[in-house]
Chains A and B, each alone.
Chain A
Amino acid sequence: MSVLDELRETFRQEAIELLNELAKILEGLRNRNADASALVAARRVAHNLKGAAITVGAQRIAGPCHALEDEFEIAAKTKEVPTADQVESWLFLVTELQAATDDPNIVAICFSEAPASKSQVGIPASVSPTAPMSKAASPAECPQQADIKSASTAGTATGTTAAVPVGAQSTPTIRVETRRLDEMMAHVREVAQIQVLLASQARALQESCDEVSVASTGESATNDRSLELRAAVRQMYQDTQEFGHLVDVLSISINRVRLTPLSSMSPLWLRAVREAANRLGRPAQLEIEVGEAEVDIHLSELIKDPLLHILRNAVAHGIEPAEVRQGLGKPQVGRIRIEARADGSFVELRISDDGKGIDPKRIAQKAVERGWITMATADSMSDAERRALVFLPGFSTADVVTTIAGRGMGLHSVQRNLEELGGSVSVSAEADLGGTTFRLRIPASVLGVKGLLVRSGDVVYALPLYDVAQVAAVALSDLEQSEGQPIYRDAAGRPIRVRSLDELLGRPSGTAMAQLFLVVLRRTGQDLALIVDSVIGEREFVIRPMPWNLATIPGINGALILPDGTVALSLDSTVLLAAAQRRRVHTSRTSAQQGAARRKILVVDDSLAVRTLESQTLGAAGYDVTVCVDGMEAWQLLQKREFDLLISDVQMPNLDGFELTARIRASEPLQHLPVILVTSLSSPNEVARGAQVGADSYITKGDLDQEKLLLAVRRLID
């Protein structure tokens, strides 16, 4: 089925729904179950159908809808219940339209240029029961049929779409609620789980048989039985493998059913660009080159708004006004292009324009002015990192709009929405049309993803493959140092900060090895090299939800079940990158301010004993320690902005540790300050609250010893 056929079919389904709704309203009027106000609803439905028909170029359906809309509007103004004859005539027309939309061939011939007048509408010439639509619309009698056959295709914001394969064969279809598909998939998962267990048991049985065979007595009968048993077990093992293959095929088939072509969203995109162009007086033309790329039906709904947002932004802030473009020697009509290509289990969308583009240096300058980064950090950033700043929350302001083309307006929410889907958005370094290019990566399916399995400590983790840029084995001595942090240089010589996965997750880190395995994550212009113990390999798996009570553990976004039945944890690379970035920003700030000075730590606790223990421990380790006795005093001391770390009690007079941490996170100059909470409270709710207000680490006093305290401190600031 061609893209155009898909479009027509999408429209046909929508038309069927709207006509059903309209028929229901009119039936209510006919049966006197509705009053004149129902005409307003009828007008809205007719208007919607007309709009959809115009959008896809089905002018011959748009005409009658327009006539119906007029009639409903006039009747509604009288505020009188329409006469029975009126209602009958409307219902007649609606019925004719329903008959037309039931037949894909008749719908097809409705795609043509708009007739000059109502009388030229192939389907009823007027809103009259004496002009049967199906007869007028039949292919044999349609006066414009020959022209329609030879019409050409166009697909721009300006508009018309034609090309009608009259008599094209249509594949019978049914509409299925996605809920039912989800149920089917849930059953398939259960079957897959059983298959994994069966395969595991069959393998164990085969091994046992082999051992028995080795230990056999040598008697002929026993040997025969042993051979039979081994053959049966081998066959069972093969069957379980075949069973697994069939489960995979079934899973893929169900996934395919959920896929819908991206091209079905074209009318929406065209309309968004057309409306924005008309409203702002910036002529723009949308080119759509999405081919046959498909995404999950659920995802197509979720990405709709982010895509429309970027398209409107392209018109509003990318494309210059016509007179400016003329002065720049550009064509008066701006170009916006959507391209799509399948990339493994992902679809990559590129949205480009030929407008003024984004200047990375000006973005970084804005971030410095706002105090988000230091000048030194800005200078050390790559252009990709600078461009990524447009996705920071609150980056967009009126000033930004006028000075850097307004990029950033709402982009944070676009990024957040896509990341929640497992996708990403970035500003591409190469502008395809000379202006700006946004690159969106969207998982084609919500059900299965490809990932890289790694082991760190006693846990297997899965990292989304689309975020893994490189896997490397390096010697510890090959890492460089920058601002006290280890740096890895990739093949292109780019410096990438290195962090231990365990440390980022707040788990005790193993002993440093001479040989390290690094997994380089790359997302939205940020890089991070994670140290792991080993790399297991690529796998395709289904992400399962974490237990209900652990659904919001930072950095963990799900779980998967390994073939041996154990659980691996799926990592949220966005959170890992953000955590590493936050520490980097803070480290760079303090380094810039203090050079090589000793790290300064503020300790606040209303217990003399705890204060003494902590300050002596930290002082002996070479830190410059300041102590105070309550949260309010700590808050005042922090205003000097000279501390690298805060170690705080939770229960304190005046201002408790939770509130103090929350204040710090809400304070622009202090928001990146690492905070360790030391408390006797260890209930889950207290721990959760600590995480919620933004504490980096939580040490219970019962467990407090010098080694643990220093380990936590070093993890955060050394």
Chain B
Amino acid sequence: MSDVDDHMRQILAERARVLARRGQLSTREKVGEPVAVMLIGGEQMGIMVSYLQTIVRIPKVTPVPRLPPWMPGVIQIRGTVVCLVDLASWLGLTQSDEARYLAIIGRENQLLGVRVAGVAGVREIFADELVVRQAIQRDASELPVRFTTRDLLTVLDIERLFALVDLRGKSEPISRTCPGPMSVT
């Protein structure tokens, strides 16, 4: 058998392995829809693409009284006033000064702006990638996190995030029940 034959045999064997691997890949279980990978506080965080409305440069932010430090204020996007959330600050991460973008996420008629440093791309998440991960300096129940992957992508739970940032009074409007102003120092 010639060297050429050996070489061809090796190539074919490699191709067979690749094809076999492709077959395995196609049977892997996807978890939910694809996520847009955002750079937030030096970490990669995923936002399901169906929630992502747009990404814009951060315009001038108007601070709003009585908000926690991780809610820097409000901006307007095409005439709609939107509240901003600084997830890095909330999660105790170090936000890069280069976090000059906003990922505008929305559900129904509710919008929220999440401060991000950039977008790394869009990817699928597979079940065999998931790992259990301890919460970042916080009680897990307070975190808007769905899960984390082996390569340290934290996929955000957007529904939970919307619930956590909802400052409206549970029973009746705060403006009518709070007799005086309140500050968060």
Give B162-184 interface residues, CB cut-off 8 Å to A: 162, 164-171, 173-175, 177-184
Binds A, one of B23-31, B77-85, B127-135, B150-158: B77-85
Are A559 and B178 within 8 A (Cβ)? Answer: no
Interface size class of B (residues with CB under 8 A): 35 or more
Q: How far is the CA of A190 from the CA of B63 in the complex (A)?
A: 24
- Chain A minimum-CB-distance residue to B81: A559
Are A550 and B74 within 8 A (Cβ)? Answer: yes
Interface SS, B side = loop
Query: Closest CB of chain B to A697's CB: distance in Å?
Result: 5
- Chain B minimum-CB-distance residue to A193: B79
Q: How far is the CA of A491 from the CA of B78 in the complex (A)?
A: 44
Any B CB within 8 A of the CB of A376: no
Query: Closest CB of chain A to B83's CB: distance in Å?
Result: 4
What residues on B are CB-neighbors of A567 within 8 Å? 62, 74-76, 81
Are B63 and A547 within 8 A (Cβ)? Answer: no
- Chain B minimum-CB-distance residue to A507: B65
Q: How far is the CA of A699 from the CA of B185 in the complex (A)?
A: 5
Any A CB within 8 A of the CB of B125: no
Q: How far is the CA of A131 from the CA of B166 in the complex (A)?
A: 67
Contact of A549 with B110 at beta-carbon distance under 8 Å, contacts A506-B66, A694-B177 already known: yes
Contact of A683 with B75 at beta-carbon distance under 8 Å, contacts A547-B111, A696-B181 already known: no
What residues on A are CB-neighbors of B112 within 8 Å? 547, 549
Are B167 and A550 within 8 A (Cβ)? Answer: yes
CB < 8 Å neighbour of A546 from B74, B177, B181: B74
What residues on A are CB-neighbors of B2 within 8 Å? none
Query: Closest CB of chain B to A491's CB: distance in Å?
Result: 29
Q: How far is the CA of A712 from the CA of B182 in the complex (A)?
A: 10
Any B CB within 8 A of the CB of A566: yes
Any A CB within 8 A of the CB of B60: yes
What residues on B are CB-neighbors of A690 within 8 Å? 182
- Chain B minimum-CB-distance residue to A715: B183
Binds B, one of A22-30, A79-87, A568-576: A568-576
CB < 8 Å neighbour of B175 from A554, A568, A569, A715: A554
Query: Closest CB of chain A to B180's CB: distance in Å?
Result: 4
CB < 8 Å neighbour of B63 from A458, A578, A671, A708: A458
Residue of B68, B109, B112, B171 ringed by the most chain A CB atoms within 10 A = B68
Are A698 and B183 within 8 A (Cβ)? Answer: yes
Q: How far is the CA of A152 from the CA of B66 in the complex (A)?
A: 62
Number of interface residues of A (CB under 8 A): 66
Contact of A190 with B182 at beta-carbon distance under 8 Å, contacts A550-B64, A553-B64 already known: no
Any B CB within 8 A of the CB of A687: yes
What residues on A are CB-neighbors of B78 within 8 Å? 190, 193
Q: How far is the CA of A565 from the CA of B62 in the complex (A)?
A: 11
What residues on A are CB-neighbors of B42 within 8 Å? none
What residues on B are CB-neighbors of A694 within 8 Å? 177-180
- Chain B minimum-CB-distance residue to A505: B65
What residues on A are CB-neighbors of B81 within 8 Å? 544-547, 559, 561, 567
Any A CB within 8 A of the CB of B14: no
Give B58-113 interface residues, CB cut-off 8 Å to A: 59-60, 62-68, 71, 74-76, 78-83, 109-112
What residues on A are CB-neighbors of B173 within 8 Å? 551-552
Any B CB within 8 A of the CB of A663: no
Q: How far is the CA of A690 from the CA of B162 in the complex (A)?
A: 19
What residues on B are CB-neighbors of A559 within 8 Å? 62, 74, 76, 81
Any B CB within 8 A of the CB of A691: yes
Give A433-487 interface residues, CB cut-off 8 Å to B: 457-460
Are B142 and A683 within 8 A (Cβ)? Answer: yes
Are A583 and B180 within 8 A (Cβ)? Answer: yes
CB < 8 Å neighbour of A565 from B59, B174, B184: B59
Are B178 and A692 within 8 A (Cβ)? Answer: yes
Any B CB within 8 A of the CB of A582: yes
Q: How far is the CA of A708 from the CA of B182 in the complex (A)?
A: 14
What residues on B are CB-neighbors of A674 within 8 Å? 180
What residues on B are CB-neighbors of A685 within 8 Å? 164, 166-167
Are B79 and A544 within 8 A (Cβ)? Answer: yes
Any B CB within 8 A of the CB of A525: no
Query: Closest CB of chain B to A484's CB: distance in Å?
Result: 17
Q: How far is the CA of A572 from the CA of B175 in the complex (A)?
A: 9
Residue of A545, A549, A575 ringed by the most chain B CB atoms within 10 A = A549
- Chain A minimum-CB-distance residue to B60: A566
Contact of A459 with B62 at beta-carbon distance under 8 Å, contacts A548-B110, A684-B68 already known: yes
Query: Closest CB of chain B to A536's CB: distance in Å?
Result: 14
What residues on A are CB-neighbors of B60 within 8 Å? 564-566
Query: Closest CB of chain B to A201's CB: distance in Å?
Result: 14
Any B CB within 8 A of the CB of A130: no
Are A554 and B185 within 8 A (Cβ)? Answer: no
A680-718 near B? 1/0 per residue, CB < 8 Å: 001111011111111111111001000010011001000
Q: How far is the CA of A674 from the CA of B180 in the complex (A)?
A: 9
A-B contact pairs, 7 of them (CB 8 A): A546-B64, A551-B168, A551-B173, A578-B180, A696-B183, A698-B182, A703-B185
Seed contacts A507-B63, A682-B68; 4 additional CB < 8 Å A-B pairs: A561-B81, A565-B60, A687-B66, A698-B185
Leading 3 A-B pairs by shortest Cβ distance: A506-B183, A547-B83, A505-B65
